[in-house]
Amino acid sequence: MTKGLKALIINVGLIFLVSLTAVLLSLRKTDKTYVEIVQNNKVIYSFDLAVEKNRTFCIEAADGGWNEVKIENGEISICDADCPDRTCVKTGVLRSESVPIVCLPHRLVIRFADKENK
């Protein structure tokens, strides 16, 4: 095995480990419970999931579309929507500060936020 090949294998291994670490850190569950729902860059709802009761409600978009948001057992998700690809529904429960729930057609974002700034 040549010196160049060994260096290549080591560099590829390091890049793999760094990438794997970055993915695992971005997907880890957060301890935050304060959530904002933003539509068209404006906060339309904000609440603490630790005290919010289980409920389901609908958010209407300017184009007439809608997203059905579900809060259950301290977790939030979009359980139904009329957007074409339904990526927001497939995202599942909001778990990470790095990965919000996004519905691009309806310009809707559900994300964790800092309660102290409110």
pLDDT (tens digit, 9 = 90+) per residue, 71-118?
A: 999 999 999 999 999 999 999 999 888 889 999 999 999 999 987 654
Q: Give the H/E segment covering residue 21.
A: helix 3-27
pLDDT tens column, 52-61: 999 999 999 9
pLDDT tens column, 25-52: 666 666 678 999 999 999 999 999 999 9
Q: Which residues, at least 6 apart from 36, have a Cβ–Cβ distance to it below 8 Å?
A: 43, 45, 46, 110, 111, 112, 113
Name the CA radius of gyration of the chain, rounded: 19
| pLDDT score, position 23 | 75
Q: In what order do the strands lie in the sheet with 42-48?
A: 42-48, 34-39, 108-112, 101-103
Q: Which three-class secondary structure state does DSSP give residue 59?
A: strand
What is the rounded CA–CA span in Å between residue 14 and residue 47?
Answer: 41
List the Cα angle 55/52/45 in 5-degree steps: 80
What is the rounded CA–CA span in Å between residue 82 and residue 90?
Answer: 13
